[in-house]
Structure 1
Amino acid sequence: MTDAPLLLQRRGAIAWLTLNRPATRNALSGDDLFSAFETVLAEIDADPTLRVAVLTGAGSAFCAGGNVAEMRDRQGMFAGPPAEITARYRQGIQRIPRALARLGLPIIAAVNGPAIGAGNDLACLCDLRIASSAARFAESFVKVGIVPGDGGCWLLPRVVGWSKAAEMALTGDTLDAAEALRIGLVSQVVAPEALEDAALALAQRVAANPPQVLRWTKRLLWQARSGTLDEALDAAGQFQGLAHHTADHREALAAFFEKRPPVFTGAGMAPQEGA
C-alpha cells in the first residue's frame, strides 16, 4: 500500500477515499495531508466519470482528530504564541473543511471506528454518514482544553440540532454508534464487516441519479445551512430552470413513461424546443 496520507481508488462512478495514517489513528496533521485533501478532492471533482465519493479510515479508527502528542510537545501547528497558532490553523487544518465545502460531488462518510474531535467534524463535513457498530463519536475538544478549531461549532448544530450539539461540545462525551443513529448523526449502523458493502450500496443508490442534478441538489443543501428561505427559493429556481433543459431530465421522463430504468450520462443541456 502506498504511504500517501489520502488514498484514492476509482470504483466505477464512485471515488473511494481512505485516510491512510493508521499508526496515528488517522490524526489530521501535517501539510502533506492538508495538501492531499485539496489535491485529491479537486481531482475527483473535475472527473466527469465520478458521481459520488466515500471517505473512510485505514485501520481501526476513522479519524482520531488532532495529533495530541504534538499538542503536548507544542510542535507543528501547535507551536508558538497565539497569533502563530491562529495562522497555522488557517493555513493548516482549516484547509480541509474549505476543500470539502468546495466539493461538488456528494460524499459519504463510512465511519469504521472512532471519530473523535476533528474526526467527528470531518464526518459532519460529509453529506451522508453511515457507521460501523464499532464507531464512536465525540466533540471532545474541551477534554484537552481547546475549542473546535476546524469549524465544529458551525457544523455540528446543522447535523444534530443546537441542543444536542451544545451537549456534545460542552461535555465532550463520547457516543456509541447506536446513540449516533438515534440523534441523526448517522443514518445507518451496520456490523463492522458489512460497512464497506453498505457504503458501496448507498453510493450506488446516489450514483444512479443524474450527475449534474446531484451536484445542484448538494449545493442547495449546503446553502440551506446558513441561507434564508428567499435565497434558497431563488437558487432552487435557477437550478430548476437549468435542470428542466438537461438531457438527463428528458431521459428520466422517457424512462418513466416507458417503464424502464433510466440511463443518465451527465451530458450538457438538451436542445430547447424550436431552437
Structure 2
Amino acid sequence: MALIAMVSAKGSPGVTTTAVACTLTWGGRTVLAECDPSGGSILSGYLSSLEIPPIGLLPLAAAALRDQLADAFAHQLVDLDAKHRGRRLLLPGINDPVQAGTIRPTWEPLAVFLSELERGDDGYDVVADCGRLTTNAPPWPLLFRADLVLLVVRAATLRTIAPAAAAAELLRRELTQYGRGDGALALALIGDGPYRRRDIEQRLQLPTLMELPDDRRTAEVLSDGGGRLRGGQHLLRAAAGAEPAVREAITRRRAHLATTSSTGSSHVR
C-alpha cells in the first residue's frame, strides 16, 4: 500500500479505534502513526498496561530539524502486537496539544519520510491517525501526500453525519489544489442507523471503502485497553475484510496518476 490517512470532521467517531483495528489485522508490515495535533491516546489507552518511555512523534520531529529522521525513526516505535514483533508498530503521538506547535514546521519532511517507508524488502505501510479537521492545525502535508484519505463517519444519526459534509468539501478542495486530487478521498463508515450507505454516499458525494460494525466491546479494548482481543470479533473481522478494497483503491489510484502524468494532463501533484 503506502500511506493511508484517517481523519474525522469533529467529535469522536472512532478514527483511532479504526486505525488500531486495521493495523492489527492487515497482512502487511504496518506502522500506525499518531499524527493528531490534539494528542495521541494509544499509550494511555490500548497500551496502558505497559511502561513506555517518552518516545514517538515529538522526538522524531526534533530529529527532522537536525536532518536525522532515518537514524531516529526505529528508536521511536513501540510494538502493538507482541505475537508479531516488528510487524505491527506504533509511532506514539504527542502528549499535549501545546506540543503541536513544535511539530508543525516538520510535517512536510515527516510526511515525505512516512510516504517512502514502503520502499525496500523490509518496507512498511503507514496508517496515519490525523484526528479531527476542527483542530487549529491539521497535518495537511500528510493528507496531501497520502495515497488514500479516509473520512471516518459514524453513521448513527444525522447529527453525526451532517458535519462530514463540510469536511468532505474542504478535503476535496484542498486535495485537488495541493494534494493528489479528490480521487484519493473515500469514506469509512462506523456502525449503522436510519440512513443507508447509498444515502450517505450521495449526501457526502464520496464512495465507501470501509464499513465497520458498532462492536462496543472490541472498541473499548482498542480504545481503553485492559481486555483480551480475539480474531473472531466483529470489528476486527470487518477491518481485516476491508484490506483488499483499500489495496485495490490505492493500486487503481496510482495507475490513474501514472497515466495522467505520462500524458501531461494531470493537475495534481
TM-score (norm 1): 0.36
Q: Give the structure, 1 or 2, with the largest relative contact order (CA under 8 Å, sep 6 or more).
A: 2
* Higher gyration radius (CA): 1
TM-score (norm 2): 0.36
